[in-house]
Amino acid sequence: MKSLLLSVVSRLGALLVALPLAISCPPQAHGQTLPFATQQQIDSVFARWNNPTSPGAVLGVVHHGHLVYQRAYGQANLARQEPLTTAHRFWVASMAKQFTAASIALLAEQGKLGLDDDIRRYLPELPWLGDTVRIRHLVHHTSGLRDGFTLIGLTLRGERHYTNANVLAMLRKQRGRNFRPGERHEYNNGGYVLLAEIVARVSRQSFAAFTEQHIFRPLGMTHTRFEGQLSAAIPHLATGYAVRYPHGQPRYHAAHFRGHTVGSSGLVTTLADLVRWDQNFYQNQLGQRRPELLQLLLTPGRLTDGTSTGYAFGLEVTPYRGQPAITHNGTDPGYQAEIVRLPRQQLTLICLANTQNLYGLTQQLFRLAEQLTPAAFDPRPAPTTPDRPRADLAGIYLEPRSLATVRILTLRDSTWHAAASTQGYARPLRSTGPDNYVNQGLGEYSYAFGRAENGPVQELRYRERSAAATLHKTAPATLTPAELRGFAGRYYSPELNQQYRLTVRRGQLRLSLYRLVHVPLQPLAGNRFLADLQGHNCLAFQRDQAGTLTGFTFHREAINGLIFRRR
């Protein structure tokens, strides 16, 4: 009797805890107004995760202000065999940026800051690097500052050191930058940490408290909060999972971001709350409730030369097949998230996942949108005759200014493959015409090769929605053992306060980490080497007038010209 009573009390307590979630989230079984065949099409996209041995995702479809379809697929916790529901909470990684940018816009509306203010007015501890970095530069990823998170990562101290305080501390030590403010668009997580710090200092509240008071509470987003760090204390949180593929089969293990940060990430939310956020873009309920706030949030920034960045206030604003489209995804260990909004159709698709293997999620949601409103989109181009594989496409293509982007083209079984680092996944490509390719499957990445008057290939123009780069074909180098040994040694970066050690092992120059991991370096012409360490990296070595090797500069995404001196 006692055990039964305890069981009843326990179940009642769990029901009372879950009740607010059930009230705030539209019932999963009601309001499904899509035709059954359309529901089946949607469900087929997520079928591989909809089983008791896999984490999964929740999906919501909003049309003309109504949640016309919602469903959960897979498990919230594999160990407990807890199925996902549409009421579960998720860590949404970089999707958080739109709320950070909205906080800046609200403070601007209140007259408490200006978008053209020098960020050092609020962050005086940051160094002067030769040009004024303005708040709008941080919003639109055009500041030219190095990414504080990447700098922390290069110290090799682990993810727990990813905190807002450490980002600020690392940026205080910088004596160089990636480019002049406004010159280029380069995604920068650390810039949004700086925005969150500005919000806190200007409002004299914690960033979490400001967003709660000025965004989440006014919109009724009662299950959304900038937690900063994941913990078991967060109620109704879906457990995140990373995946490996031994023998080609997925194997999941619990994983999550172990840092503690807000601004660039750090947000936990639900499907129902994001529906409320989405609907605010049609009738503003925030701040002074003026439509001008929405217009600001949706206006992409521009570079100094007037070129649009395609990036507004934490939102990508880029057309898709003739339709205006607003998106932003998020990926951190164990989690993925995406919102795709098509304002002319008043159609939004929201997906929150507790696994990292929903590959091509943004494009998948666009494809679902096409099925829901097919007449709205421009027709797809007619199929073209595939181009015959041309052997001279093979090689290494490097972005010449920053050295931070590479594509490596290889031909296997008559199919071209493109990798974004020396050891990275090689995507199979399909031809769309002479010297033009897209990735097989969803086709969201395009590759256009340029030749010199129908001669040899010289460059590759790569595009992924608003992101584009022109890469130059770069010759590999063959070095003798003696030449390789000439690069070996210890190199120190004062801006990182970190030493790197290069050694020669098994005929290759390698970056040796703690004498345990030895990352091979691929030599290129011009004393440059490629390394795959959590993605693409390039080391460009310098010599003095006497020919003596003095050090190298380090380059990767959001890091340009970081100096290492030879010791």
pLDDT averaged over 10-residue windows placed end to end, the chain, 567 residues: 31 31 35 84 95 97 96 97 98 98 98 98 97 98 97 92 97 97 97 98 98 98 96 94 92 95 97 98 97 98 96 96 95 97 97 95 95 90 73 95 96 94 94 92 91 90 88 96 96 96 96 90 97 95 96 97 97
pLDDT of residue 10: 33
Read off the tokens for 403.
């050295």
Q: What is the CATH number of domain 391-474?
A: 2.40.128.50
pLDDT of residue 31: 52
What is the C-alpha separation between 441 and 453, in angstroms, rounded? 32
What is the C-alpha separation between 298 and 516, in angstroms, rounded? 48
Hey, what amino acid is at 402? S
pLDDT of residue 5: 30
pLDDT of residue 492: 98
pLDDT of residue 189: 97
What is the C-alpha separation between 70 and 103, in angstroms, rounded? 29
Q: What 3-state DSSP class applies to 510?
A: strand
pLDDT of residue 165: 97
What is the C-alpha separation between 138 and 185, in angstroms, rounded? 10
pTM assigned to the model: 0.91
Per DSSP, 324 falls in state -
Task: State the pairing for strand pair 549-556/559-566.
Answer: antiparallel
Residues of the chain with CATH 3.40.710.10: 93-376
Per DSSP, 322 falls in state T
Residue 303 CA, chain-centre distance (Å), reads 21
Direct distance between the N- and C-terminal alpha carbons of the chain, in angstroms, rounded to an integer: 75
61 and 338 Cβ atoms separated by less than 8 Å: no
Hey, what amino acid is at 380? R
Residues 190, 402, 407, 520, CA torsion sign: negative
pLDDT of residue 444: 87
Question: Residue 296 belongs to what H/E stretch?
Answer: helix 291-297
What is the C-alpha separation between 353 and 202, in angstroms, rounded? 34
- CATH architecture under which domain 481-566 falls: Beta Barrel (2.40)
Per DSSP, 264 falls in state S
Residues of the chain with CATH 2.40.128.50: 391-474, 481-566
Q: What is the CATH number of domain 93-376?
A: 3.40.710.10
List, as one string, the DSSP characters of 330-387.
EEETTEEEEEEEEGGGTEEEEEEESBS--TTHHHHHHHHHHHHSGGGSPPPPPP-PPP
Q: How far is CA 50 from CA 45, 84, 187, 449, in A?
A: 10, 10, 33, 40
pLDDT of residue 33: 82
The strand ranges marked E within 103-233 are 225-226
